[in-house]
Chain A
Amino acid sequence: MPTALESRIAYIDLSKKKVNVKTTPREWVKQLLGGRGVSALILYGLLKSEVDPLSPENVLVISIGLMAGIPLPSARVNIGAKSPLTGAIGSSNCGGHFAPEMRRAGFDHIVIVGRAEEPTYLWISDGTIEFRRATQLWGLDTVEAQEAIKDELGDHSAQSLVIGPAGENLVRYANVRTGVKSSAGRTGMGAVMGSKNLKAVTVRGSWDIEFAYPDKVLDLCIRFNENLRKTRFFTVMQVYGTMHIFSYTNTAGIVRVKNSQSNQLFPSDNIEAEAVRPYSVGHEGCYGCPIQCRHRYVVESPRYGLIYDEGPEYTSQGCWGSMMAINSTECMLVCNHLVNRLGLDTLETGSMIAWAIEIFEKGLIDEKATDGMTLRWGSPEIVYELIEKIAYRKGFGAILAEGPKRAIEKLGSATAYYNMNVKGMSWLQTEDRAIPSFVLGVCVSTRGADHLRSRPAIDLFGLPKEFLEKLYGAPMTSDYTSYEGKERMVWGNELEYAVIDSLGLCKFACSHFITPHSIYTDTFNSYQELSELIYYVTGLEVTGDQLKTCGERIYTLERMFNLREGFTRKDDYPPQRYFDEPLPSGLPIVRGKRMDREKYEKLLDAYYTLHGWDSNGVPKAETLRRLGLTEEGIKALVGEVFG
């Protein structure tokens, strides 16, 4: 019977059709928890540098969090591999209902190598693993494929991680999806599955999930539920989801508009959170979640007919609304649907299209490159067309499907300045150059430009200095445009998010990710509370301080993966545009702002110091010793399973 401490790892070789099952070492749990942390260790341990991410040698790790299955938002499943988009560590997680089903099916970690001879899917049920033919599924979209698998197995409750046409066609930012909307979106994990001829991984289990102290787990769950409901954050998220953020960020001038040329879009009434409500037919909840932050919606489109989908999130709202300068609810809902069904990362797709439109507008490419299309802002039809071309790698879409680095090589170095990426992954839909903490977080993120590794959204609230000092343990300004103390904010959040991701919990439910409200209540926002939860679930005594060290270990391990692939300090900077161009509009504190290189350099230095890394961002020998990450230390850890 699966408990978090007696879980198993399946090592699956698709080329040889062989399966090897091992027990998860206790030491892995103590040092890396699960999910994202364990994934980082396996990738570091099993991969050699310079492996082609789309070759059979790449290692795909599906890993659930240590807390998977408890009656809380605990269903994050992490997908890891070397990223075909960046060449750095690939790691992305999503919610849904897959993770608890995987634990019930008997596995916490699935490691997949090789390449199947023909399209294949894995059927994992109550401890058994079966290779099944997937030629009949190849070409189906992400929801059709899941439904077809359920029909084929005659099991209505089976849960699948699948790829869509984008993953099959090796679009370098294809995602992995489960359910109608949950997407492990970033870093192109769908392309890795596609390269392995792996259409889906399907799990179903009837085993019990057991806990060390079940009554205490239940008490915590009830307490969490009661406290969360008292917050305003909860009420807003229940009705609008993450889209509620947009009205503030657009008013302030911190959203990307027309790629990155402007920072406010008006009018924006049709892409505000309220505009989606008439299309909503209810909400959708990930496993164990009392918030249920996403809409289920129906929209009628002249081009696509009647559409049913879930979402959109703040990211899709920005990508298909403000970034494209399109004030249309229908366009936003249709684009969200297209990327979902085709299996594309909404953010990377939106960012690549926005870049294409800007460089076309600037005359750096013309109709010869775009198959005769005249690219311009504000046209839903052009955006629909490009999304489809990318997913199926048709014409110009095949260039955009390659992601920032390779597309720049093809379209000329003059286009590079306009491509907003870090480490080869696109910046999110927000315009952050007025907010140094956000910029630092995005630039040092171990998986390329990304906010979910650290985003200190709390910085926007201008909370009292004393409060922030108490929270982060050092003096800090309340001014979000300031650089002062922001390295500690980013560092602190990085460690916390690494722990939350590795426990498989949802950031919305257990941290001050979005709002200070949760801090005033009794949700899981401190290491101490998480340590209590871990004890009740597993019986394992991990102190708050030890948990924080787990966060450091995970983050440094991911950094080491990237260093081995040649990434250094030079890859921790925002695009040149952030230093050159002042923001054209927005609130007085935002307008006219751009990044200051000298101050950024200092911020970066201070940030490296907190991690115990040298001025090149390389972990110092003493840091590696303290975290148990010396070459011998890692070898011993990895050797417990893959000796």
Chain B
Amino acid sequence: MGEDETLGRMVVVDPSSCTGCQLCVAACSLKHESQVNPLYSRIRAVRFEGKGAYIPVTCQQCKDAPCQSVCPVKAIERHEETGALIVNQEKCIGCKACIIVCPFGAISWTADGRIVKCDLCDGDPLCVKLCTREALAYVPATTAHLKTQVKAAEKFSEILKRISGV
């Protein structure tokens, strides 16, 4: 399978549907670390409470991934089937350079000294499964833009309605 094909699906976030409930955060931590601690969750839903904005942030499994490029021991490997960037704990030396370069802050360091990040739950992401608002979706990357496109079109149609009075 070629590199481009393995980047087939992604977790796409829709901040306008997120309610900030932290269900994905708590469940992710519980699944991967057997305890609940947002610090170790691979996903975060950042809450700007007073302003009413909630922004989910997670690994985008970048094509030219800075974490992969910066890793001095090539410990971040692409999963053949899911395309997820996986930390090979055997190779990892814990230099934390990946944490510094990740533009999404999607990589974290556990108290017992491991680099952890989203592994797409082997192709069945738990966060997506539990999100009841569809603020998270696991979709082919080629169609990831569609939902946003439709939303934009809806807004545009409302404007048209107002202008034309239809």
Interface check A444, CB cutoff 8 A: no
Interface residues of B in 88-135 (CB under 8 A from A): 111, 126, 129-130, 132-133
- Tell which of B20-28, B66-74, B147-155 binds the partner: B20-28
Known: A156-B46, A292-B19. 12 other contacts (CB 8 A): A71-B23, A100-B26, A100-B36, A146-B50, A206-B39, A208-B111, A210-B35, A211-B36, A214-B35, A215-B34, A283-B133, A310-B52
| Closest Cβ–Cβ distance, residue A582 to chain B (whole Å) | 44
Known contacts A104-B37, A214-B35: A282-B17 contact under CB 8 Å: yes
Interface check A147, CB cutoff 8 A: yes
> How many Å lie between the Cα of A292 and that of B130 in the bound state?
13
| Closest Cβ–Cβ distance, residue A206 to chain B (whole Å) | 6
> How many Å lie between the Cα of A88 and that of B108 in the bound state?
49
Greatest chain A CB density within 10 A among B34, B35, B36, B52 is at: B36
B30 with A287: CB separation less than 8 A = no
3 tightest A-B CB contacts, nearest first: A285-B21, A285-B19, A71-B26
28 pairs across A/B with beta carbons < 8 Å?
A: A71-B26, A71-B27, A71-B130, A97-B22, A104-B37, A143-B49, A143-B50, A146-B49, A146-B50, A157-B47, A208-B33, A209-B35, A211-B30, A211-B34, A211-B35, A211-B36, A215-B34, A218-B27, A218-B30, A221-B130, A222-B126, A225-B132, A282-B18, A283-B19, A287-B22, A288-B22, A289-B23, A296-B52
In the complex, which residues of chain A have a beta carbon less than 8 angstroms from the beta carbon of B22?
97, 100, 285, 287-288
> How many Å lie between the Cα of A230 and that of B5 in the bound state?
35
In the complex, which residues of chain B have a beta carbon less than 8 angstroms from the beta carbon of A296?
52
B49 with A285: CB separation less than 8 A = no
| Closest Cβ–Cβ distance, residue B14 to chain A (whole Å) | 11
Interface residues of A in 154-182 (CB under 8 A from B): 156-157, 179-180
A147 with B50: CB separation less than 8 A = yes
CB < 8 Å neighbour of A214 from B19, B30, B46, B51: B30
Interface check A456, CB cutoff 8 A: no
Interface check A69, CB cutoff 8 A: yes
Q: Per-residue 0/1 for A199-242: is the Cβ within 8 Å of any B Cβ (1 yes, 0 no)?
A: 00000001111110011011001100100010000100010000
In the complex, which residues of chain B have a beta carbon less than 8 angstroms from the beta carbon of A287?
21-22, 26
Interface check A388, CB cutoff 8 A: no
Interface check B16, CB cutoff 8 A: yes
Interface residue SS majority, chain B: mixed
CB < 8 Å neighbour of A292 from B27, B36, B52, B132: B132
A218 with B31: CB separation less than 8 A = yes
> How many Å lie between the Cα of A69 and that of B39 in the bound state?
14
**Chain A residue nearest in CB terms to B37:** A208
B26 with A70: CB separation less than 8 A = yes
Interface check A286, CB cutoff 8 A: yes
In the complex, which residues of chain B have a beta carbon less than 8 angstroms from the beta carbon of A529?
none
A284 with B36: CB separation less than 8 A = no
Interface check A265, CB cutoff 8 A: no
In the complex, which residues of chain B have a beta carbon less than 8 angstroms from the beta carbon of A292?
19, 21, 132-133
In the complex, which residues of chain A have a beta carbon less than 8 angstroms from the beta carbon of B38?
157
> How many Å lie between the Cα of A222 and that of B30 in the bound state?
12
CB < 8 Å neighbour of B52 from A225, A286, A308: A308
In the complex, which residues of chain A have a beta carbon less than 8 angstroms from the beta carbon of B133?
238, 283, 292
A221 with B37: CB separation less than 8 A = no
